[in-house]
Amino acid sequence: MKFFLDTAVIDEIEEAASWGVLSGVTTNPTLYLRAGGTLAGFHDHLKRICDIVDGPVSGETVGLERAEIVREGEELAAIAPNLVVKVPTMPEGLAATKTLKEKGIDVNMTLCFTVSQALLAARSGARYVSPFIGRFDDISEHGIGHLGDVIKALSNYDFGHPVEVITASVRHPYHVVAAAELGADIATVPFSVLEKLVRHPLTDRGLESFLSDWEKVKNA
Ligand code: G3P
């Protein structure tokens, strides 16, 4: 499984990249706002992220009509070679994805919840399909169950181009573990979840005991 960070915070991206585990980044307008973003600084901020990350960086379009989405997508794709255009799953989004794909621009189709949406996204030319997990849990549905359905359905077909599943709307470490067991290609996670994935109380306890014994060795 590849790990992406779902953030627009530069410090978090630099830290995860320094661990050698960062394969990509996904952003959206909410995350950019949370990172203190301004409209004027949007493209420069994405460029900074693209320079740090050795892998795809998703920048989201906000247009609702196909020509607008394509125009925004072209502008975003011009920022850096590793910029992937994030497009919402909707009819106008499918049409824009088809056009962007024809122009050689990779699309990450987001806000994807169902098998039918994922199949259509892949068929329209999306390079990445992002099923959301946590938002299903929020409405008392089984997000991981839906993810499993999407992975299984997509694996039945050859879309004529590579399609990778990005597990999105990840809120807990167990979402990542379950997604890996289902064979999801990628999980995009907040930095807080990435930190929880690496830590374990038994590791902390083991380290504490090794360090205390090493003190005894030094003093013997
Ligand atoms: O990658 C999409 C993600 O940012 C959405 O997460 O927690 O808002 O459902 P959330």
Tens of pLDDT, residue by residue over 14-44, are: 999 999 999 999 999 999 999 999 999 999 9
Could you tell me the distance, in angstroms and rounded to a whole number, from the CA of residue 30 to the centre of ligand 1?
A: 9
Residue nearest to ligand 1 atom 10, measured at CA: 169
Alpha-carbon span 47 to 139, nearest angstrom: 36
Instruction: Delineate the domains of the chain, giving CATH numbers in brackets.
Output: 2-219 (3.20.20.70)
Quick: pLDDT tens for 142-182: 999 999 999 999 999 999 999 999 999 999 999 999 999 99
Angstrom distances, CA of residue 138 to CA of 132, 142, 146, 169, 170 = 11, 9, 13, 11, 12
Atom number in ligand 1 closest to CA 166: 1
For the Cβ of 134 lying below 6 angstroms from any atom of ligand 1, the answer is yes
- Identify the active-site residue in 2, 86, 98, 218: 86
Count other C-beta atoms under 10 Å from residue 33's C-beta. 11
For the Cβ of 27 lying below 6 angstroms from any atom of ligand 1, the answer is no
For the Cβ of 188 lying below 6 angstroms from any atom of ligand 1, the answer is yes
Residue nearest to ligand 1 atom 1, measured at CA: 168
Quick: pLDDT tens for 117-145: 999 999 999 999 999 999 999 999 999 99
Closest CA to 193 of 1, 10, 12, 8: 12
Could you tell me the distance, in angstroms and rounded to a whole number, from the CA of residue 140 to the centre of ligand 1?
A: 16
For the Cβ of 7 lying below 6 angstroms from any atom of ligand 1, the answer is no
Quick: pLDDT tens for 175-198: 999 999 999 999 999 999 999 999
Region of 130 (left: φ > 0; alpha: ψ -120 to 50; beta: rest) is: beta
Could you tell me the distance, in angstroms and rounded to a whole number, from the CA of residue 70 to the centre of ligand 1?
A: 23
Catalytic: 47? Answer: no
Residue nearest to ligand 1 atom 6, measured at CA: 169
Residue pair 113/95 in contact (Cβ under 8 Å)? The answer is: no
Could you tell me the distance, in angstroms and rounded to a whole number, from the CA of residue 161 to the centre of ligand 1?
A: 26
5, 25, 108, 135: which to mutate for ligand 1, most atoms within 8 A of CB? 135
Q: What is the pTM of this model?
A: 0.95
